[in-house]
Chain A
Amino acid sequence: MRNLIILSLAFIAFGFVAATSKQERRTTCDVEDAKVKLKKELVPYRYTNMSVQRIFFRRYNQKKSVSFPLMFDTKHRFVFNTENLPQNIKVKVYSDNEFVKKRQELASFNSEDGQFTYEPDISQPLPYIYFEFLIPASIAEDTRSIPKGCVVIMVGYEDEYAEEFEGMGTSGTE
C-alpha cells in the first residue's frame, strides 16, 4: 500500500514537472498566437515553413543568424512576429553569411514594430537569404534569471497563378 502511494506521488511529480516545462515554453513564446497572425500576413503566398528563434538576453551583446534557401525564379515572403520579446532587438537582412566580405545589407527592422514582412528582390536572385539578430546586452531585475522570448518567422512562396491575379488584392476577416 505504502509503495503504491509513493509510486502515485512520483507520477504526480513527474507529470507536474513535464507539464510546467511545457507551459513555461508556451508562456515565454506563444507560437500558436503568432502563427495565426503570421498566416494572415502570408496570404496569398503559400506556406513553406516556420522557424522559431529563441532569444536569450544575456549580460553581453550577441549575434544570432538564420539562413533560408531561395528558389531562383520564385517570389518569397518572410513574415516576422516579434511580439514575444521582452526587449527590443534589431533584425538585419544580408545577401551572404558574415564570412563573406562583399555581403550586402538588404534591409533592417526593429522588433518594436511587432510584426514585419520582407520580400527578397527576385530580379537579384540569391541562393540563400541571411537574417541576423542583434541582441543587446541586458540584465534581469533579480540579476539571476535570463530574460527570454522568441521571434517567429513564417516563410511562403508565390504560386504559378500569381501573375493572373496581380492587382486583385487579397481579402479576409480580422
Chain B
Amino acid sequence: MKKLLSVFLLIAFTFAFYACGESTGESNENLKDKLQQEMLMEESGELPEPEHSFYLPSALQIGTIFKRSGLGYMEGITANPENASKYVGKNTQLLNFGVFSADLAYTILNSQSQNSKSLLVAVKELSEGIGFGSVFNQNGLYDRFESNLGNQDSILNLLVEIQENTDVFVSENDLRAETYVIFGGAWVEGMYLGSKAFNKENKAKISKRLVEQLNILGNLISALESTDRNMEDISEVMTGLKGIYDYFNQIDYIRDENGSIDFAKVVIEDKELDEISSKIAELRTLITEV
C-alpha cells in the first residue's frame, strides 16, 4: 500500500510540476492564478480588453539604431551587474531587468564579451525573480549564449532568439503590463548610454536619435498608465519620466506649426540637451541605486 501510495504521489507531483511548465517561485504561482481567472472570464466574455495597445522597440533595436548613428563604446558606463541580486520588489526588478537588457545589447553590439558575460548573468538572475526564467531555459539558450560569447554573429542571433521567446512568453501569459515596466528601464538606460557616449563627431546624429526616443516616451507613459498594475513603489520613476517628457514638450523650436518634428533635420541646442541628459542621469540613478 505504501509503495502504491508513493507511486501515486510521484505521478501527482510530476503532473503538477509539468503543468507548471517552465514556472518556478511565487511569481509564477500568481501567474497561474491570473491565467485561470482569465480563462473563466474569456469563456464568459467578461475579459476586459484594451481598445488600444502600444508596442515599443526592443532594447536591441534601440542599441542598434544608436550604434548606426555612430555611438561608440565607453568603458564603465553600464550598470553594475553585481547589484542584480540586491533589487527587491517586482517593479524594481522589472525596471532593472530592462536596464541590464539594454546594457547587454550595448556591450554585445560593441563586441565586449567579458562585460556581456557578467551582464548576461545579471539578466538571467533577474529573469528568475520576475518570472521570466523559462525564456532562458528554452533550448539551452543560456548555455549556448555563454559558450558563444566570443562569436559576434551567433551572439546577436541568440539575443534575437531571447527577444522572440520573450515575446511569445509575454503573449501566452498576458504580461503586457510587465513588459511596459521592463521597457521603461531599458528606455532610460538606452537614453543614458546615448547621452553619455556621444562626442563632437557623432553629436548631431545622436541628438536626432535622442529626440526620436523622447517622442516615444509619450507612448511609454501612456502604456504604463493604461494598465491596472500597482506602481506605487516606483511612483518616483513615473514622475521622473513625466518630468522629462514635459521638459521635452516645451521645447518649441524643434516643432513645426502643426507640432510635428522632422527627425531627419532636427537640431537641439546644447542647453536643452544638457538638461535632458542630466534629468535622465538622475532618473537612471533612482532606478539602479541599491
Distance, CA A145 to CA B43, complexed state (A): 6
- Cβ of A73 within 8 Å of any chain B Cβ, yes or no, is yes
Taken residue by residue from 42 to 62, chain B's Cβ proximity to chain A (1 for < 8 Å, 0 otherwise) reads as 110101010111111110010
Distance, CA A24 to CA B32, complexed state (A): 13
A8 B172 Cβ-Cβ under 8 A? no
- In the complex, what residues of A have CB within 8 A of residue B208's CB? 72
- Cβ of B263 within 8 Å of any chain A Cβ, yes or no, is yes
- In the complex, what residues of A have CB within 8 A of residue B9's CB? 4, 8
B12 A9 Cβ-Cβ under 8 A? yes
Distance, CA A50 to CA B19, complexed state (A): 25
Residue in A22, A54, A66, A125 whose CB lies within 8 Å of B264: A125
Taken residue by residue from 56 to 78, chain A's Cβ proximity to chain B (1 for < 8 Å, 0 otherwise) reads as 10100001111111011110000
B168 A50 Cβ-Cβ under 8 A? yes
Binds B, one of A12-20, A85-93, A110-118, A165-173: A12-20
* Closest chain A residue, CB of each to CB of B13: A11
Within A123-143, which residues are at the interface with B (CB < 8 Å)? 125, 127-128
Given A48-B57, A69-B56, also A24-B39 (CB < 8 A): yes
- In the complex, what residues of A have CB within 8 A of residue B216's CB? 69, 127
Nearest CB of A to B151, in Å: 18
- In the complex, what residues of B have CB within 8 A of residue A19's CB? 15, 18-19
- Cβ of A37 within 8 Å of any chain B Cβ, yes or no, is no
- Cβ of A43 within 8 Å of any chain B Cβ, yes or no, is no
* Closest chain A residue, CB of each to CB of B220: A69
- In the complex, what residues of B have CB within 8 A of residue A51's CB? 53, 55, 167, 171
- Cβ of A79 within 8 Å of any chain B Cβ, yes or no, is no
Nearest CB of B to A39, in Å: 8
Residue in A12, A29, A48, A67 whose CB lies within 8 Å of B52: A67
Given A54-B49, A69-B216, also A31-B16 (CB < 8 A): no
- Cβ of A107 within 8 Å of any chain B Cβ, yes or no, is no
- Cβ of B5 within 8 Å of any chain A Cβ, yes or no, is yes
Distance, CA A145 to CA B62, complexed state (A): 42
Q: 9 A-B contacts, Cβ less than 8 Å apart?
A: A5-B5, A15-B18, A31-B171, A31-B172, A35-B168, A49-B167, A51-B55, A51-B167, A125-B263
8 more contacts with CB within 8 A, not counting A12-B15, A48-B61, are A15-B12, A15-B19, A47-B163, A54-B49, A56-B42, A63-B51, A71-B65, A125-B262
* Residues of chain B whose beta carbon lies under 8 Å from any beta carbon of chain A: 5, 8-9, 12-13, 15-21, 32, 35-36, 38-39, 42-43, 45, 47, 49, 51-58, 61, 64-65, 68, 160, 163-164, 167-168, 171-172, 208, 212, 215-216, 219, 261-264
* Residues of chain A whose beta carbon lies under 8 Å from any beta carbon of chain B: 1, 4-5, 8-9, 11-12, 14-19, 21-22, 24-26, 29, 31-32, 35, 46-54, 56, 58, 63-69, 71-74, 97, 125, 127-128, 145-146, 148, 155, 157, 159-160
